[in-house]
Chains A and B, each alone.
Chain A
C-alpha cells in the first residue's frame, strides 16, 4: 500500500511537536539505509538550503513622505541609483546596480566595490543609508530635492522581491580560451585550469522537488533569515530535462522561483552584497525550502544524492556568450565536490560559488523552526509549470545586427 500524507496532517504534527524533519543531506543516507518506503513512513518534511550569489534580486522600499511632499523622480541610496518610476516615495533597489561613478570595467578587471546588494545588506545591518532624491515638482508635490539618511526601521515598508532566485541547477563554468576571463562565475583561468559551479547539489531546493510537486505559488520559505514566500515562477523559468552527452535523460533542470519576504525580519548573515571582479555587483541570498513528504514519489526525488545530480559543463569564453555549443557534457555534484573533474581529457580543479556549509546551516535552521512549531507548511495556491509543460524559450531578435 502506498503511503500518503496531507499538508494538514503535517501541520497538525508540527503543532503537537511530533513532526519528523530531516535535512536534504540527512535524508540521503536514511533512504539508503531504510529504503524509500520506510523512510516515507517515518519522515514528514525534508528541508533544503542554498546560499549563493543570486542576480535578479532587489527590494521595494517606501521611504515615507517628507514635509513638504516630494514626488521623487531620481533616487540614490548611498550613491547607488534606485528605480522610482513607481510612485512618489516608492523605489526598487536592484542588487546588481553599481554605485554611480564606479569606474566599471574601464580599468579591466573592475572591482565593483559597492552596489545595490551592498545597500540592501547595509539596510539589514541597520546601518544609516544616505538617501538623495530629485523631482521636477508638482502642485501636490512641490519639493524638488531631498538629502537625508534612512535606516531600515525609519522607513515604512521594505520587502525583498527577487524575480529570479534559487536556480534549480546551474552550469559548471570553464574557460577553453588562452586568456583569463572574469565572469559572474568568478575568475576562470585559461586552458581549462579551473571549473566553477554554483548550486548546493543534494541540498538545492528545486533539485530536490524537480517536478514542482510541492513547491508552488504561496510556498512558505526561509528567505534571508526571515520568513518569505514563493511569489511566482521565476523569470527565465525554463524547466526541461537535462541530458548527458549520449542523450540519456538525467533529471529536470532550469526552473527558478520569484520570492518575496519582509526585509525587516532578515539577517545580514544570509543577505550579502557581493562584488565579482571584472563582472559587477550582486547579492548572495540564503534560501531554504521545506519539502512535505506527501508520498513516495516526492521522497524519491528528495532523497537524490550528489552522485545522482548533474551539472552541464559550459565554456564561458565562447559557448556561453555566443551560443556556440561545445558539447562538454555533464558532471555529477559528487565529482564536483571532490575537487576535480575531467573535461576534454584534462583534469580540472573545481570550486563552488555557492556555500555548502551555509546551505547546511540554512536547511538545519529551517528544520529547527519546523520542529519548534515556529514554521508551518503551506499548500501552494497554484502549481508552477514543470518540465512536461513544454515552455518555449524566447530570444531577443536584434534586427539591426550586422
Chain B
C-alpha cells in the first residue's frame, strides 16, 4: 500500500472545506496529520501522511479543489562523524542500502538503494541515521 508524506497549501477559499473528511470517507485513505497551520488571512499549510490504495485518486481530488500538493521528500542521512561502524544496522536494513565493506568492515550507506523505511533510525545505538525532509 502507498504511504506518502505530502504538504498541502491552500488559500482562503479552500481552507474552510472538510478535505480530510473527503479523503477518509470518499477514498478510504488513512490520514495522519503531522502538522497544520492556518494564518489569520485564512491561508494554510498542512503536512499529511496518507496511506491507502486510492492514494492517486485522493491526490487528484485535492488538485481539483485548487489545493497545491507538494511531495515531501523524506530521506535518511548517514552522519559519518557520529557513526562508529558498529554494523548493527546492516541486518535491519531490508535493501542492502547499509552494508559492510569488507575486509575493512566499514559501514557504507548507498542512498540510491534506500527506501526510507527507517529501520536503521530505530536500531542505530548512537543515532547516526537521521530522517530529513526537503
Contact = CB atoms under 8 A, between A and B. Distances in A.
Chain B binding surface, main DSSP class: loop
A123 interface: no
A351 B88 contact: yes
Contacts of A277: 122-123
A48 interface: no
A315 to B, nearest CB: 16
B88 A338 contact: no
A354 to B, nearest CB: 7
A208 interface: no
Interface in A176-208: 186-187, 189, 193-196
Given A339-B100, A352-B87, A355-B84, A53 B105 contact: no
Contacts of A196: 88, 91
A357 interface: yes
Contact of A337 (B85, B86, B89, B102): B102
A304 interface: no
B100 A358 contact: no
A52 B126 CA distance: 11
A20 interface: no
A386 interface: no
A143 interface: no
Given A52-B86, A351-B90, A352-B86, A284 B126 contact: yes
Given A52-B86, A194-B91, A339-B100, A352 B122 contact: no
A70 B121 CA distance: 42
A277 B92 CA distance: 12
Contacts of B103: 337
Interface in B84-116: 84-92, 100, 102-106
Interface stretch (A162-170, A268-276, A290-298, A363-371): A268-276
A275 B88 contact: no
Contacts of B22: none
Nearest to B126: A272
A76 interface: no
Contact of B87 (A274, A275, A276, A353): A353
Contact of A351 (B84, B87, B125, B127): B87
Chain A interface residue bracket vs B: 20 to 34
A126 interface: no
A273 B125 CA distance: 8
A351 B120 CA distance: 13
A284 B105 contact: no
A237 B104 CA distance: 31
Given A274-B126, A339-B102, A358 B84 contact: yes
B116 to A, nearest CB: 18
A356 B125 contact: no
Contacts of B102: 337-339
A149 to B, nearest CB: 23
A193 B94 CA distance: 11
Contacts of B87: 351-353, 355-356
Most buried by A among B92, B105, B122: B105
Given A356-B85, A357-B85, A351 B122 contact: no
A275 B125 CA distance: 5
Interface of B: 84-92, 100, 102-106, 122-123, 125-127
9 contacts: A187-B122, A195-B91, A272-B84, A274-B125, A284-B126, A339-B100, A339-B102, A350-B91, A351-B90
The 3 closest A-B pairs by CB, nearest first: A356-B105, A194-B91, A274-B125
